[in-house]
Amino acid sequence: MVRARSEGSFSQVLRQQRLRCGLTQLQLAALSTISVRAIRDMESGRVASPRRATVALLAGALRLTGQARTAFCRAAQVESSYLDKMVTESMRSDASVWTTDGLVGREHELDAITGLLAAEPRQRLLTITGISGVGKTRLALEVGQRVLAELDIPLLWVPVAEAHHDWIPNAATPPLLEAMVELITGQADTSGELAAIIGTTPMIVFLDGLDDVPVHARALLRLLADCPHVTVVTTARVPLGIRGECVLPLAPLAVPEPGQERDLDSLIQVPAVSLLLRQLAPVQPDFRLNPANASMIAGLCRMLDGLPAALGLAASQCLMEPLPHLYGQLVDDPRNLHALICHHPEPMLYAAVMSSVETLPQPHRRLLDRLLQIDGCWTVDEAAGATGLSRPELTRSLHVLFIRGLLRRVERHGDYLISMLNIVRHACAEIHDVPLSRADQAHLFAIM
């Protein structure tokens, strides 16, 4: 936990000045009105960057004036630049946060988020929401890498989902990261410690995967209040529900438009197609997009909702069976889609989708069930007609379903058409233990 410090570091300067005055840590605490624990943390190097106000109180209690006081305060500032380096290094040196595959699509989302992070005043709390496997973590990583490259702001990447389950800090774990994990996972209220470390340093903290973790909203709010230049970017399937939170609902990748399979040059540009082909390349190196297989590729992308994780599962299935077999099974019986996703060695995706449906508050869940009865794509007016709900009631619930990524929309002739994700239809049908109707099955092939 305690990091080795260079000569003249604040921890050493503080200790020297205290001993010069002949004070114990307890006496300095009483004189400065700062807690003994905070003084101990600063002297041990655990707190790297005390707040300006703390430094001023200490300087007063140590009766420092003139040059001695300036040197004392400067030592504390040196620690801030050490902090910048330390947190950024935690992102640079952690292999798990680096991506080596190119991001497909998402240019607009990337611009929007980095724009919000660069704007003054900066957005303080931003949550990327959406269904499991849609690419929230992948997008956040890209944002982090862009911020590292373009903005002069230190970053801290906190893999909350992993930390919650099997994460054990080691000697290389920055104290800041450890304290942040303890705060967010509710192991300890380290907000005071974090405030002492971060102080007024500008920083972007990424909290990835706040799904199964009880978020301690109050502690997070305190962190935001105590560290006025910290911005928190989170990824979660549902928003945190904190006032002022900016929510970016991430939709799946765009799928081919009606008839787009007839134009290969344009088909290959569609993000879902582009990702599927890229995922297929290592498992079926001889596969080429051509006029004979274009409808199959386009159909597969539509059936899998353009969901990156599902496209990856389909591609990896091609290690065991040729793509036309897989596609044929899905065409014969769309329930095989469920089998593909559910029985894959990585069954987390489907379980997470089920949980997104099951944890919906009742009114929204009821609407989802009613929407299941409408075939294909629909407008808000059509949904109002079919469900009998008033428009305000309907739009309130639709909003929740969109934020959770259970619906997707496409723009057609200046209007928005909305549809339920196929994987969500399956989850709903399974929850009610009803087979999908013929109309539902036909919907799986509907042009989105």
In the complex, the residues that contact ligand ATP under the rule CB under 6 A are 101, 103-106, 130, 132-138, 209, 235, 237, 275, 308-309, 312, 352
Contact at 8 Å (CB) between 375 and 438?
no
Name which of 177, 226, 231, 183 is nearest 203 in CA terms: 231
The Cα–Cα gap between 14 and 192 comes to: 20
- Rounded least distance, CB 313 to ligand ATP, Å: 10
Which residue of 32, 88, 137, 419 would you call a contact of Mg ion, by CB under 5 A? 137
Question: CB-based contacts of 73: which residues, under 8 Å, 6+ apart?
Answer: 55, 56, 59
The Cα–Cα gap between 210 and 51 comes to: 29
- The length of the chain is 448
3-class state of residue 407 by DSSP: strand
Contact at 8 Å (CB) between 246 and 121?
no
Our CB check for Mg ion shows the closer of 45 and 312 to be: 312
Choose from Mg ion, ligand ATP, none: what does 103 bind? Cβ within 5-8 Å by kind.
Answer: ligand ATP
Q: Which residues of 259-268 are buried (b: 16+ CB within 10 A; e: fewer)?
A: ebbeeeeebe
Our CB check for ligand ATP shows the closer of 209 and 299 to be: 209
Choose from ligand ATP, Mg ion, none: what does 234 bind? Cβ within 5-8 Å by kind.
Answer: none
- Rounded least distance, CB 155 to ligand ATP, Å: 18
Choose from ligand ATP, Mg ion, none: what does 275 bind? Cβ within 5-8 Å by kind.
Answer: ligand ATP
Q: In terms of DSSP bridges, do strands 203-208 and 415-420 run parallel, antiparallel, or are they unpaired?
A: unpaired
Our CB check for ligand ATP shows the closer of 12 and 355 to be: 355
- Rounded least distance, CB 110 to ligand ATP, Å: 10
DSSP state of 212: S
- Rounded least distance, CB 30 to ligand ATP, Å: 49
Our CB check for ligand ATP shows the closer of 138 and 335 to be: 138
Our CB check for Mg ion shows the closer of 299 and 405 to be: 405
- Indicate whether 127 belongs to the interface with Mg ion (CB under 5 A): no
Chain residues binding Mg ion by CB under 5 A are 136-137, 209
